[in-house]
């Protein structure tokens, strides 16, 4: 049985249907991304999973418990990392973590707190007030609080990298990858395509309360096409012979030569052969670019709009 | 148990927030100093000080819990805590315990100051302390309801302060006989602060032991229970709008 089972989940707020007949499952050891713009219904779905909201209809089971009826049992097994660093600024790092550890009833909680402080490299700041931490340290504390239960079965990351700069985002990605490797079920909501692409083993594309597509990032991208376009600009005009050799390759769809540039449309499997032929031509390459199908393209395909535009 | 854990950590904030700590000490000290001016009789002095601090306890109790919950909501801590294994009632109790401890410290300072001023009363100081703490409980139970329905800190302060003043003055005027023979008298009879007033004045002026006020205290405890349960019901109803 899957750790999280959601069947025909619907949540209405008056006339607004925030979540519309959503079904999915999460197994232990997989990182599932709930990808969609603001207002897609991601946070409402999470709130229902943790038992903070009751579904209008449908069924949610977490480890066999219904969150709306057995909220305490469900929440004991869940670690949660919110979007903003929701921390008590007037408590120290250690006190913030101790509060969470005691609330979860962790035995020998001081030992666990020391362990998690070390794991998230917060030793130097352990006894400093959380309000005095830098943005990156607050983000680390935010993650540490979500990971305080060592034996939690499900970690929910609710847009954990919103507002973080590149370096901190990469650090946060490292934490998510570590969680993925620990065998826990991880549910990550995000409106960043590249984040879902890089971190999730499975993605649920959500828009206007509905799941419009789901699968691994590769599967989702291949539903559109596995074609890519490689464009070269050479120092001199490419020869007719090169064009013919490229056109003759079985997985090359088309070759366009325009003065110094060459545009090759191909199935992704043919890329090594194309590169080899270009290399053998001994032409000096001034620039080259590859454009693959991205999750942006997939999202646009299913919803007719840009995720990034809607999300930001 | 979870409520105690929550209160244990949130109460630490008292010693970190310098301005808050200054207020917690300066208010009761200032009130006792002011209360000593203008009253000749010892019992009058005690009554004036206790009534002033009682008035502030009711206001702070009413507003304090609401402000704490709204502050937690704004910082996102409310959601984080509610996702931990604590019931809604447990969470509310935790917030109430924290405010109760803060007000308890203030009441304690008032009592220390009255000992310093060598103020004496015919009744028991312990009885008086217990009544003040019961008054704080009533204020907290009322404040929890305001916290559940208020959408902003401004509204919490407005509703909390406004209601406290009305309820306090109704009790005061009723005690002075202002409503005699009117319809308001029946309503004012059920005002828990009116009963608490009678208990406080009975201890200060007549030295009546607390155990003799069981009908009055029974009414107050009934109010506290009803208000606390109604606040839990309001939170259950409103929680989806608060997170």
pLDDT (tens digit, 9 = 90+) per residue, A44-100?
Answer: 999 899 888 889 999 999 988 998 888 888 888 888 888 878 889 888 999 999 999
Q: Which residues contact B171 (CB under 8 A, 6 or more apart)?
A: B188, B191, B193, B194, B196, B197
What pLDDT, on the 0 to 100 scale, is given for residue A15? 87
Helix-helix angle B2-11:A93-103, to 10 degrees? 170
- The reply to whether A221 falls in a domain is no
Please compute the mean of the pLDDT values over residues B124-142 and round it to a whole number: 87
Q: Flag whether A309 is in a domain.
A: no
| Residue bearing the bigger pLDDT, A267 or B209 | B209
Q: Which residues contact B162 (CB under 8 A, 6 or more apart)?
A: none
User: How many domains does chain A fold into?
Assistant: 2
> How much is the pLDDT for A11?
93
A203 in the same domain as A179: yes
3-state SS, one letter per residue, for B83-122: CCCCCHHHHHHHHHHHHHHHHHHHHHHHHHHHHHCCCCCC
Q: Nearest-CA residue of chain B relative to A97?
A: B9
ipTM over 0.85: no
The reply to whether A18 and A90 lie within a common domain is yes
Q: Report the Cα A63 to chain-centroid distance in Å.
A: 23
Angle at A94 (CA atoms; ends A88, A95), nearest 5 degrees: 45
- Per-residue pLDDT tens for B78-130? 888 888 888 888 888 888 888 888 888 888 888 888 788 787 788 888 888 88
Distance from CA of A124 to the nearest CA of B (A): 20
Q: Which of A72, A82, A102 sits opposite B80 (nearest CB)?
A: A82
CA-CA distance, A247 to A254, in Å (whole number)? Answer: 7
Average pLDDT score over residue span B11-18: 79
Task: Name the β-bridge partners of A11.
Answer: A19
Residues A119, A47, single domain; the answer is: yes
CB contact under 8 A, B5 and A99: yes
User: Could you give the CA distance from residue A66 to residue A74 in angstroms, rounded to a whole number?
Assistant: 8
| A75–chain B Cβ distance below 8 A for any pair | yes
On whether both A132 and A246 belong to a single domain, the answer is: no
Angle in degrees, 0-180, between the axes of helices B214-242 and B192-201, rounded to the nearest 10: 140
CB B15 within 8 A of CB B21: yes
**Is A233's pLDDT higher than 90?**
yes
Whether residue A206 sits in one domain with residue A231: no
pLDDT at residue number A312: 41
Shared-domain flag, residues A122 and A200? yes
Q: Span B129-149, mean pLDDT?
A: 85
Range of lowest pLDDT (A102-106, A120-124, A284-288, A290-294): A290-294
pLDDT at A3 exceeding the cut of 50: yes
pLDDT at A61: 92
> What domain range is A80 assigned to?
4-216
Statement: residue A278 has pLDDT above 80 = yes
- Are B85 and A102 an interchain contact pair (Cβ–Cβ within 8 Å)? no
- Whether residue B239 is predicted with pLDDT greater than 70 in this model: the reply is no
Which tokens go with A199? 């971190």
Residue A173: what are its φ and ψ, rounded to 5°?
-60, -40
Question: What is the residue-averaged pLDDT of chain A?
Answer: 85
Provide the 10 A C-beta neighbour count for residue A305.
12
**B17: confidence class by pLDDT, cuts 50, 70, 90:** confident
Alpha helices by DSSP H, listed for chain B, are 2-11, 13-16, 18-35, 42-75, 77-82, 88-116, 125-149, 153-175, 183-189, 192-201, 214-242
Q: Are residues A13 and A39 both part of a single domain?
A: yes
Note whether A33 and A127 are same-domain residues.
yes
Whether A45 maps to a domain, the answer reads yes
Q: What is the pLDDT of residues B150-173, one digit of tens each?
A: 777 778 788 888 888 888 888 888
In this structure, are A279 and A196 located in the same domain? no
Q: Do residues B65 and B95 touch, judged by C-beta distance below 8 A?
A: yes
Q: Do A151 and A195 fall within a single domain?
A: yes
Which residues on B lie below 8 Å from A50 (Cβ)? Answer: 83
* One domain, residues A185 and A242: no
Beta-strand ranges (E) seen in A151-235 are 154-158, 185-190, 202-207, 210-215, 227-234
A140 and A202, same domain (yes or no): yes
Render pLDDT for A121-172 as a digit per residue (tens, 0 to 9): 888 888 999 889 888 888 889 888 888 876 778 899 988 887 777 888 888 8
Percent of chain A with pLDDT over 70: 95
Query: Which of B12, B84, B239 is facing A91, going by the closest CB pair?
Result: B12
Specify the CATH number for the domain of residue A179. Answer: 3.40.50.300
Q: How far apart are CA A229 and CA A67, in angstroms?
A: 48
Inter-chain residue contact B239 with A91, CB threshold 8 Å: no
Q: Where are the beta strands (DSSP E) in chain A?
A: 4-13, 16-26, 31-35, 57-62, 78-81, 154-158, 185-190, 202-207, 210-215, 227-234, 252-258, 261-267, 285-291
Query: Residue A33: pLDDT band by 50, 70, 90 thresholds?
Result: very high
pLDDT of B241 reads 66
Q: Is B195 exposed, middle or buried (0-12, 13-18, 19+ CB in 10 A)?
A: buried
Residues of B in contact with A47 (CB under 8 A): 240, 243
Work out the widest C-alpha separation in chain B, in whole angstroms: 56
pLDDT mean across residues, chain B:
82
Is residue B42 over pLDDT 80?
A: no
């Amino acid at each position: 049985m899957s750790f999280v089972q959601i069947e025909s989940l619907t949540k209405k707020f008056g006339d607004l249907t925030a979540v519309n007949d959503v079904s999915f499952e999460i197994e232990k050891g997989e990182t599932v991304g709930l990808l969609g713009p603001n207002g897609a219904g991601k946070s409402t779905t999470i709130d229902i999973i943790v038992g903070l909201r009751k579904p209008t209809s449908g069924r949610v089971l977490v480890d066999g418990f219904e969150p709306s009826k057995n909220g305490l049992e469900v929440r004991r097994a869940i670690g949660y990392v919110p979007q903003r660093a929701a921390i008590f600024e007037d408590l120290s790092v250690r006190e913030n973590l101790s509060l969470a550890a005691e609330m979860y009833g962790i035995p020998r909680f001081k030992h666990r707190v020391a362990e998690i402080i070390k794991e998230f490299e917060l030793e130097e700041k352990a006894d400093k007030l959380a309000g005095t931490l830098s943005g990156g340290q607050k983000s680390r504390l935010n993650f540490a609080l979500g990971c305080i239960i060592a034996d939690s079965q499900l970690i929910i990351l609710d847009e954990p990298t919103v507002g973080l700069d590149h370096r901190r985002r990469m650090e946060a990605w490292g934490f998510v990858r570590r969680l993925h490797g620990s065998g826990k079920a991880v549910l990550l909501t995000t409106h960043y395509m590249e984040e879902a692409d890089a971190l999730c083993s499975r993605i649920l594309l959500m828009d206007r309360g509905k799941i419009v597509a789901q699968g691994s990032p590769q599967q989702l991208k291949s539903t559109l096409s596995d074609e890519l376009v490689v464009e070269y600009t050479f120092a001199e005009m490419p020869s007719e012979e090169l064009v013919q050799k490229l056109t003759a390759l079985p997985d090359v769809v088309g070759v366009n030569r325009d003065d110094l540039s060459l545009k090759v449309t191909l199935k992704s499997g043919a890329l090594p052969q194309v590169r080899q032929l270009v290399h053998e031509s001994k032409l000096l390459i001034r620039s080259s670019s590859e454009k693959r199908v991205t999750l942006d393209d997939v999202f646009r395909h299913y919803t007719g709009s840009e995720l990034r535009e809607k999300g930001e | 148990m979870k409520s105690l854990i929550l209160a244990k950590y949130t109460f630490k904030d008292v010693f970190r927030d310098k301005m808050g700590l200054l207020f917690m000490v300066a208010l009761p000290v200032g009130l006792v100093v002011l209360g000593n001016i203008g009253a000749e009789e010892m019992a009058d002095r005690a009554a004036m000080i206790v009534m002033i601090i009682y008035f502030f306890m009711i206001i702070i109790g009413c507003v304090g819990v609401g402000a704490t919950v709204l502050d937690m909501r704004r910082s996102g801590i409310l959601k984080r805590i509610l996702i931990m294994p604590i019931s809604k009632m447990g969470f509310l109790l935790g917030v109430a315990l924290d405010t109760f401890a803060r007000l308890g410290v203030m009441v304690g300072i008032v009592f220390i100051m009255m000992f310093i001023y060598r103020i004496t009363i015919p009744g028991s100081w312990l009885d008086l302390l217990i009544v003040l703490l019961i008054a704080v409980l009533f204020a907290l139970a009322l404040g929890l309801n305001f916290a559940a329905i208020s959408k902003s800190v401004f509204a919490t302060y407005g509703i909390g302060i406004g209601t406290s003043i009305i309820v306090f003055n109704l009790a005061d005027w009723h005690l002075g006989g202002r409503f005699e023979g009117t319809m308001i008298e029946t309503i004012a009879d059920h005002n828990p602060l009116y009963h608490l007033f009678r208990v406080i004045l009975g201890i200060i002026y007549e030295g009546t032991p607390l155990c003799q006020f069981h009908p009055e205290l029974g009414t107050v405890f009934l109010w506290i229970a009803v208000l606390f349960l109604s606040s839990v019901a309001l939170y259950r109803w409103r929680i989806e709008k608060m997170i």
